């Protein structure tokens, strides 16, 4: 589903730019995020992080997209992402996002980031 892949590209761009307004529109009310370090955060914490833009990425490059349609209104997207950060060089992760369709728009309900060895 090209629409979902494009939405994830927009999300990574918003991540790089600290665009909290984009994420405010993208996230469900009950969203959770699980970091590569096992920290789980809720919607308010996710938006605070983007508003502060304390973890800027200088490059995010996705590859190996997998989109799994669960229902007409729910999909999972997973890709490998190479991330450059001024704090820690380059890391590779598997990034999974669960999307649900609400009022005709895709909304993110879960983010899971897993480091790739």
Q: CA distances (Å), 85 to each of 6, 30, 51, 69, 72, in order? A: 22, 28, 18, 32, 36
End-to-end CA separation in angstroms for the chain: 28
User: pTM for this structure?
Assistant: 0.92
- Structural domain tally of the chain? 1
Q: What pLDDT, in 10s, does the model give residues 10-20?
A: 999 999 998 99
What is the model's pLDDT at position 4?
98
Structure confidence by residue, pLDDT tens digits, 28-65: 999 999 998 899 999 999 999 999 987 678 899 999 99
Per DSSP, helices labelled H in the chain are 2-17, 20-26, 43-52
Q: Domain with 19 in it: what CATH number?
A: 3.10.450.50
* Helix, strand, or coil (residue 75): strand
Q: What is the pLDDT of residue 23?
A: 97
Q: What integer pLDDT is reported at residue 55 of this predicted model?
A: 66
Give the model's pLDDT for residue 31: 98
């Amino acid at each position: 589903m090209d629409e979902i892949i494009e939405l994830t590209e927009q999300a990574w761009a918003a991540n790089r730019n600290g665009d909290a307004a984009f994420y405010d529109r993208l996230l469900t009310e009950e969203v959770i995020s699980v970091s590569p370090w096992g920290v789980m955060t809720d919607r308010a914490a996710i938006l605070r992080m983007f508003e502060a833009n304390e973890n800027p990425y200088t490059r995010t490059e996705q590859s190996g997209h997998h989109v799994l349609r669960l229902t007409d209104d729910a999909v999972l997207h997973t890709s490998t992402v190479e991330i450059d950060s001024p704090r820690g060089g380059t890391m590779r992760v598997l990034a999974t996002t669960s999307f649900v369709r609400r009022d005709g728009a895709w909304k993110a309900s879960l983010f899971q980031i897993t480091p790739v060895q």
